[in-house]
Amino acid sequence: MKIPKNMTEDEVIETITKVARNLAPKFVFASYDVDDIFQEAFIIGIEGIDKYDEKRPLSNFMFAHISNRLKNFKRNNYYRMDIGGAQKIQDTKKSLLEPMDIDSVYSVCLKDYTSNNVQIDEILSIIDKKLPAEYRRDFLKLKSNSPLPKGRKANIIKLIQGILDNEHEEG
C-alpha cells in the first residue's frame, strides 16, 4: 500500500474506513449485509490507494473510487429471475473479459451450416490454414476458452466469419 506523503498509515486507514462505512448501507443487496459490503468497500479502498493522485483530497478520491467499484460489484453479483430476458442482458454486462468458448463462435459464424454438414475439426482446420498469422494467438486463446479483450474477440470472430463465409461460397 502506497502511503501519501502528507499522511500517516493510520490516517489513510481511518479515511478509507470512514468512506466505506458511509457507502456500505447504500449498496446492500440480496444476501449481502452491511458488514459484507463494508469489507468489500474497505478492500476496494486499500487496492485503490495506489491510484490516488495526491493533488486532490483522499476522501473525495476514495468516495468516487469505492462507490464506482461497489456499483460494479453489485452489478456483477446481483441475480434476479429471468423476466423478459433481463438475466441474459445482465450476464452480458458482467465482464468485458469473460471467456468465450469456441462453440459460441460457431453459433455466431455458422449461419446455414450444421454440425451434420461440417465437422468441427474440418472447420478448425480451415480457419487455421486461412487465418492471418498476426491473429493466430487470439484464435488460440479463443479456442482454449481463455480470456480475450472484447475488441480483439470481436475482430477474431469477424475474421473467422469471413473465412467461413468464403469457404461456404467456394464449396
What are the domain boundaries of the chain?
A: 9-93, 102-170
Half-sphere exposure of 167 (CA within 13 A, CB side): 22
The model's pTM: 0.49
**How would you class 66 by CB atoms within 10 Å of its CB: exposed for 0-12, middle for 13-18, buried for 19 or more?**
buried
Chunked in runs of 10, what are the mean pLDDT values of the chain (171 residues)? Answer: 87 95 90 91 94 91 95 79 58 53 53 52 80 85 78 85 78 58
Q: How far apart are CA 92 and CA 86, in angstroms?
A: 10
- What per-residue confidence (pLDDT) applies to 92? 60
- What per-residue confidence (pLDDT) applies to 81? 55
- What per-residue confidence (pLDDT) applies to 97? 45
- Cell digits of residue 44: 476496494
Please report, as a single letter, which amino acid is at residue 42.
F
